[in-house]
Structure 1
Amino acid sequence: MTAHISFRQVTKTFPIRGGAVSGRGPAVFTALDSVELEVPAGEFVAVVGPSGCGKSTLLDLLGGLTAPTSGEILLGGRPVTGPGPDRSIVFQQYALLPWRTAQGNVEFGLEAIGVPRRQRAARAREYLDLVGLTGFEDRHPHELSGGMKQRVAIARSLAYDPDVLLMDEPFAALDAQTRESLQDELLRIWRSTGKTVVFITHGIEEAVYLGGRVAVLTSRPGRVKEIVAIDLGERSEGQDLRSSPEFARYRHEIWSLLHDEVSRAQLLEREVSQV
């Protein structure tokens, strides 16, 4: 299958304010270094890595919110040069407009791309139904639980039919039961829409449960250390996949990859502090 998303030797650096290296110009912080990643169309890829390894930076680059220092990112064979309607981002914080209802929040993105009012309303109701919020169209954010707010955010992101759904730890702030429920909902939505999903998480179990593949990043600067293909077989309702031997095996494999990186990062930090 032709890769829908391609990271080709992508490096991202940031200048360090007030920092300079004698005779070498301004000091820089390298967030990502020579990242290579291919994501076929329609795939669900989870990305994990140690804290500060550049996971969110990777998503910002793909979303076109910032540009790589070197290398290139291709989407459908075309370079990513900025944000576009072919991509949508769901953040950890819901970013809902408090003065708008659930339906009004979903319609917001459709207004921006010029969808007529009647079509906006119908499409907003369609996607609120898709995320299980039929009957809550007229509720304001303060009248919704955290999980329901995130459902609205997902519906808003899907409503204008992007090719790619980018998710930056969207369930991190939720309680465990709500998080697991929304993971199941997200998989159902992914199967029904066929979107390409790139899902950033710090949770190993979440990555294994959701991802068809899991990309493990190294400690700073972030590189793709390994990509683990996940095969948990056919899923059936009521099945407790998280307790299966296969799930435990994948979890341990990714934990081992991450444990080495966290240990290396801690060692480097101690060495730097002693200089």
Structure 2
Amino acid sequence: MAKIVFEGVGKTFPAKNKGRDKGPDKGEFTALDGIDLEIGAGEFVVVVGPSGCGKSTLLDLLGGLSRPTAGRILLDGEPVTGPGLDRGTVFQQYALLPWRTALGNVAFGLEATGVPRRQRTDRAREFLDIVGLAGFEDRHPHELSGGMRQRVAIARALAYDPDVLLMDEPFAALDAQTRESLQDELRRIWQRTGKTVVFITHGIEEAVYLGQKVAVMTSRPGRIKEVVPVTLGERGPGLQGEDLRSSPEFARYRHEIWTLLHDEVARAQQLEKEEATV
């Protein structure tokens, strides 16, 4: 049985102005329409698509922050009806508490679940070590680089041991070198922990580098256009970083996904122009 199942999932929102996606009766626009997707336990699935296609909406629905208007989402065979400790989320913005140290930020989620002080401190240290921040436990967010702050956010999401890690463009605001370093770090963490990961990105290279599967979405209303399985030399220790990114296999997958996205990006841009003139 799949870990996560999207069955005919749709999501509409009230329309703020007239446009092509306005519903006939209720003044709605359709963000997602008929999403069908299965994700296995321990899989790393990346979702890519043009701006405005509903990628973040899809993640919000899986996180239980919003409810679908059609279809359903199953997690371990049970419908998702709200947030839960079985899912951890990492956003593009780090959302760290500025008055807390790195250790205190990671321990924060454990406090809310009633973990005893000594145990949560030990666990917070353990996960800061996992993300490569041993020795930085007492630093406040303003004393950390952007990449280090995002590592703290990842450690915080992992600390209470969720089954599923949801990541909404977590590296988008970082410089290229830091982004690639954290991609390597995330792959290592995923291989070590065996978490199921659903990762949203605009970056085709990031999608190919990280994903076992890449789900390509259409322009709005968002649908799953195609799911591309990615196998890159078994992703073993002998083929990492630049070696992997420069391989012929990598270039082939990148071109395949770019081809799938090209028309969708053009459609999204045309839709934006049409709506701007209405």
Q: Same fold (TM over 0.5)?
A: yes
Verify the 8 A CA contact 2:111 2:120 in the aligned structure 1: yes
Shift, 1:271, TM fit: 5.2
Q: Which residue of 2 aligns with 1:72?
A: 72
Q: Which residue of 2 aligns with 1:52?
A: 52
Q: Distance in 2 between matches of 1:274 and 1:172?
A: 30
Verify the 8 A CA contact 1:19 1:26 in the aligned structure 2: no
Instruction: Work out whether 1:8 is the aligned partner of 2:12.
Output: no
Shift, 1:264, TM fit: 2.3
Shift, 1:26, TM fit: 2.6
Q: Which residue of 2 aligns with 1:204?
A: 204
Q: Distance in 2 between matches of 1:47 and 1:18?
A: 28
TM-score w.r.t. structure 2 length?
Answer: 0.94
Verify the 8 A CA contact 1:92 1:172 in the aligned structure 2: yes
Q: Distance in 1 between matches of 2:277 and 2:126?
A: 58
Higher strand share: 1
Shift, 1:260, TM fit: 1.2
Letter in 1 for 2:54: G
Alignment of 1:11-90 (within 5 A): 11-17=10-16, 24-90=24-90
Q: SS state of the match for residue 189, structure 1?
A: helix
TM-score w.r.t. structure 1 length?
Answer: 0.95
Shift, 1:265, TM fit: 2.6
Letter in 2 for 1:4: K
Structure 1: runs of 5 or more not aligned:
none
Instruction: Work out whether 1:250 is the aligned partner of 2:249.
Output: no
Q: SS state of the match for residue 26, structure 1?
A: coil
Letter in 2 for 1:5: I
Verify the 8 A CA contact 1:53 1:220 in the aligned structure 2: yes
Letter in 2 for 1:252: H
Shift, 1:272, TM fit: 5.6
Verify the 8 A CA contact 1:91 1:170 in the aligned structure 2: yes
Q: Which residue of 2 aligns with 1:113?
A: 113
Percentage of matched positions with identical amino acids: 76
Can you list the C-alpha shifts for 1:15-37, whole angstroms capped at 9, x where unaligned? 12476999954310111001000
When the two chains are superposed, the root-mean-square deviation of aligned CA atoms in Å is 1.9
Q: Which residue of 2 aligns with 1:229?
A: 229
Give the number of equivalent residue pairs.
Answer: 274
Q: Distance in 2 between matches of 1:182 and 1:272?
A: 37
Q: SS state of the match for residue 121, structure 1?
A: helix
Verify the 8 A CA contact 1:16 1:29 in the aligned structure 2: yes
Structure 2: runs of 5 or more not aligned:
none
Q: Which residue of 2 aligns with 1:103?
A: 103
Letter in 2 for 1:131: V
